[in-house]
Structure 1
Amino acid sequence: MTIWDSLVGQRACIEQLQIAAGGQGMNHAWLFTGPPGSGRSNTAVAFAAALQCEQGGLGPDCPDGCHDCHTVLAGSHADVAVIRTEKLTIGVKEVRDLVRRASLTPMGKRWQILVVEDADRLTEQACNALLKAIEEPNPRTVWMLCTPTVEDVLPTIRSRCRLVALSTPTAEEVATFLQTLGCEEQRARYAARASQGHIGRAKALAFDDAVRSRRQDVVAIPARLTTLGQCLASATRLGEVAKEEADAITAELDAREKVDLDAAYGVVERGRRPREYAPALRDLETAQKTRAKRRQLDVVDRGLIDLVSVYRDAIALASGAPGDLVNEDIRHDVERIAALSTPELNLQRIGWIFAAREQMLEFNVPVPLALESMMVALRVPERH
C-alpha cells in the first residue's frame, strides 16, 4: 500500500497533484482544505514526496521506492519541513524561522518544501510574515498550507495559493479501507459510521477498545439528561475523562522533555543548576501547560462532535431520512430522544453544543462551566 492509497476518497485530488508533480500546473504555494480527518497533511506530504521523487514525479508509486520518497515519508528529508504545533496558535517567531528557511537554496536537485499543518492557527502577525514570503517566493521553494476551509487564512494568502479541496470520504470507503488494514467487517462498518469520515478516528475506533468504550460512554449521555443532577454529573464526567486522556497523552512526553532539559544543562552530571536553567525550565513548563490545555480541548471537542451525531440521528429518524444512523448501535436511545423532542428542538441542541465549543475554543471559557451550561440546555424531559 502506498501513501496515495491511504488518502481515502480523494481520487480527484490525487490525480490533480500527480499531474502537477509531473510538471503541468505547478505552483509555488498550495492550500489544502478539508474537514478534520480528511487527510490534509497526509495529502500534502504525499505531494511533497512526489515533487522530490527521483523518478520524475511519481512519488510513492515510483518503481523502486527511491531514497527521496522514503526520506520524505519518514520525515527526514533535508529539503522538506513539516511544521506542527502543540500550542493553541502558531506565532510570528516560528513563521520567521520558516521564512528564513524558505529563502535557502535546496540541498538537493529539486524543491525546498514547507508544509504547515493547522495553518488556521497562525496569528495575525504570523500571517503577515508568511504573506511576504509567499508574495516574493524563491524560485525553488514550495509552500503547502493545511486548513479546514479557505476562510481560515487571509484572502491575500489564499489568492496566491492553488487550492486542493479534500472531501469527507463515505462510510463505505472508510470501511473498505479499514478492512484492508485487517479490521473485521462489522467493526469496520461501525468505526466508519461513528468516525463520520475522520480517518484517524476511524482507525482508533477500529483497533483500540479503550477509544471505542469512551465514545460509547459519550453517546449514551443525551438519553441520561433527564434531571439537573444528571446534567451536572455528565458535564463533570466528560471534563474529567477529557483531562485524564489528555494527561495520559502528555505525561510521558513531559517527563522525557524534562530529562532532556536536565541533561542539556548538566543538572544530572554536575548536581547543580546553572543560572540559565531556571528560565529554560520555566519556558518548558509554560509550553507543556499550553500543550496539555490544547490536548484537553481536543478531547472535549471530539466528545462534542459525538454528541452532535446523536441529535443529528434523532433529526434524521424523525424526518424519515434514508440511510443508516451514525449511532445505529444505540438506535433505541435515538428513538427515545426523537419521540420526546422535535427536529427543531434537536437542531437547537446542536446549536447549543457548537456554542459551547466556541466558548471553550475561541473565548477561553473554563471547560467545566461551558459543559455544565450546555448539558443543562440539552436536558430531555421525562415521559409522563
Structure 2
Amino acid sequence: MNHEQLVQLLTLGVRRGASDIHFEAGYPPSYRIFGDLVTARLEPLTTEDTESIARLVIGAESAFFRGEAHDADHGFSVTGLSRFRVNLLRQRGSIGVVMRVIPFEIPSFEQLNLPAAVASLAHVRSGLVLVVGAAGNGKSTTIASLLEAVNESRRSHIVTIEDPIEFLFPAKKSLVIQREVGTDTGSFGTALRSVIRQDPDVIMVGEIRDRETAEICLRAAETGHLVISSLHTQDVPRSISRFVGLFPSDEQQGVRGRLAETLKAMVALRLLLRADGTGLLPAAEVMLSTRSIQTQIREGASMESLLRLIESGRVDLGMQSFDQHLVELVQTGRISADLARAHATHPSDVARALLLDEGGGSGDLNF
C-alpha cells in the first residue's frame, strides 16, 4: 500500500459522504455512510497493507512503532480532500486504522441544522458550555462551529487543547492557538494548568475525561473564562451526574454547587437518518442556565424534574428535550415516526404527541 493508493481509498470515502473509514487486516476497506458500515468491493487488506497505512498516516518513528504504545491518536491531511482524525490499534498481531473524516471547512449552525439556541451560545462570555453525546454524533463539529462563530464575531484569544487537533481555524478576528496532546503538551492536565497564564478568553478542551480535567475546567470557568468541552454521555441529566461522579463522594455536593454556578448551557446530540435517506441530521437536547435549573443541579434533582424544566423553557428560552425535538422533526417530515420512537427518552409520550398532532390516530403509530 503506497501513498497514492491510500489517497484513492480516502477519496472514495469522502466523495461517498463517509464519516469514518476502517482499514482492518482480513477485510476490505469499510466506510460508515449515514450510520451504516459499507464494505468496498475490493480485496481484503493484508497485515502488510494496514501496517503500511499506519506508517503513512502517523510516521514510522512514532511511539506506536517503537513499541511504547498499543493505541495512538493522530491528525492527518490530504491536500484538497480533507483532514482525518486517526486512531491506530493492535489486534491479534495486526494493526487496525480508523480514520474520522474532518472537513477543511467548518460548517455553520445552519448547515448543521442546529436549533437557534445553540447558535446563541457563541455570545456567551464566561462560564462552562458542554456538548455531549455518544461517539460520532457531532460533538466535535458543533464545538468547532461555536468556536468559529466566536472567531468571526469578536476579538478574543482562543486556546484549544485537543487529542488530536481536528478542525483548523483560519485567521479571522480572534487569535486562535491550537495545542495537541502528545505533540505540543504532555496531557490535558498539563496544558490546562498553564493555559490560565496564556491570557485566554476562550478555552476549548477536547474532552473531560477525569477529575483533574473537570476540576481545572471548573476553576477556569469560575475565574471569568469561557470553557467549552465535551462528555461522552447520552443526555443532559446523565451528563450532570457523570460530571459530578468524576469527583470523590465527599466532594460531590460542593461540586454540584460550583457546577450550578458556572454551567451556562449543555447541548446533547444524536445523529439520525433523514426520512429520505440522503444523510444524517441532529436531534438536540438543549439546556440553558436559569435560577430554577441551578437549583435543580445544586440539589441533585431527578432526571424527570430536570427534563420538565427543560421542556417548560422551550417557548420563552429555546430550551428543548430530545422528545420535543424528535416530535418536531417528524412533524416537519425530516425523520420517520418509527425512528423518533426508537430514540425517544419516553417513546409513549412521543407517540401520543404525534397522534394528537394528526388529529387522533395513525396506523403508523400503533405499537
* TM over 0.5, shorter chain: no
The structure where strand makes up a greater share of residues is 2
The structure where helix makes up a greater share of residues is 1
**Based on CA coordinates, which of the two structures has the bigger radius of gyration?**
1
TM-score (norm 1): 0.32
TM-score (norm 2): 0.33
